[in-house]
Amino acid sequence: MNISEKFLPVSFKQDFHGICDQLAGIDPELCAITGLYGYPPLWSRAPSFKTIIHFILEQQVSLASAKAALNKLEDLIPEFTPERLLELSPEDLRACYFSRQKAGYARGVAEAIVTGDLVIDDLLCMPDVDIRKTLKNLKGIGDWTVDVFLMMSLHRCDLFPIGDVALVTSTRAVKHLGKHAGKDEILQTAEQWRPYRSVAAYMLWHAYLQKRKKP
């Protein structure tokens, strides 16, 4: 039996509000978030091929732009499978707002699934470190993509995607770090939220989005 077979994943999904309350109890600034805005949504996406493609589309663009591209792709291939995506031409993907680079990344993920090099169901009971290694072997999959997959698809407890601009901005504001606080300082600040940094990130994203809502 290998380590993956012995591993029992820990999810924050079953006690999400309880963990928010725990974090609010130890951090006055996080407590203020729930006081002002309530609990964050339990953002969730199925651990699937489509979700990985969606995360690739979200790299370095707005959520709205990525969703528009995904919707166009779903219109083109309602049966959203790796095989169907591989049938598309570069022109088809460009029509779905894929950059040349992201089209290559998407095809690479599809090919890995078709050849059996990536089995998404196998990820469900693997430790975070093994999932990170597996996914980062695919071109175009970096730490941010792995982090949000672990958080939103598998609800793993202790991720803090330091490459996420909204999360960094919100942490600086909520924790009064100053707009020039570097990643090391932000990660050090996040240490107090272990082993539930993922839930703290949800709270910080929630604050970021609520502050930007139009009156």
Mean pLDDT of 111-126: 96
Long-range contacts of 1-8 (CB under 8 A, 24+ apart): 3/127, 3/130, 4/122, 4/125, 4/126, 4/127, 4/130, 5/125, 7/125, 7/126, 7/127, 8/125
Domain limits of the chain? Answer: 13-42+159-210, 49-152
How would you class 127 by CB atoms within 10 Å of its CB: exposed for 0-12, middle for 13-18, buried for 19 or more? Answer: middle
What is the b/e burial string over 7-29, where b = at least 16 CB atoms within 10 angstroms of the residue's CB? eebeebeeebeebbeebbeebeb
What amino acid occupies position 8? L
pLDDT at 4: 39
Q: What is the pLDDT of residues 124-181, one digit of tens each?
A: 999 999 999 999 999 999 999 999 999 999 999 999 999 999 999 999 999 999 888 9
pTM for the whole thing? 0.92
Looking at per-residue pLDDT, the higher value among 179 and 4 belongs to 179
State residue 215's pLDDT score: 56
pLDDT of residue 5: 42
Percent of the chain with pLDDT over 90: 91
Rounded to whole angstroms, the Cα distance separating 121 from 80 reads 17
Phi, psi of 110 (to 5 degrees): -60, -45
For the cut 50, the answer to whether the pLDDT of residue 1 exceeds it is no
Which residue stretches of 15-95 are H helix? 16-26, 28-37, 49-58, 63-76, 82-86, 90-95
> Which residue carries 């600034």 as its tokens?
29
What's the mean pLDDT when you consider all of the chain? Answer: 94
Cα–Cα dist 172/193, whole Å: 15
CATH topology of domain 49-152: Endonuclease III; domain 1 (1.10.340)
Domain 13-42+159-210 has CATH 1.10.1670.40: yes
* Residues sharing a CB contact under 8 Å with residue 77, sequence separation 6 or more, in sequence order: 84, 85, 87, 88
Backbone angles phi and psi of 11, in degrees to 5: -115, 145
Cα distance between residue 25 and residue 97, in whole Å: 44
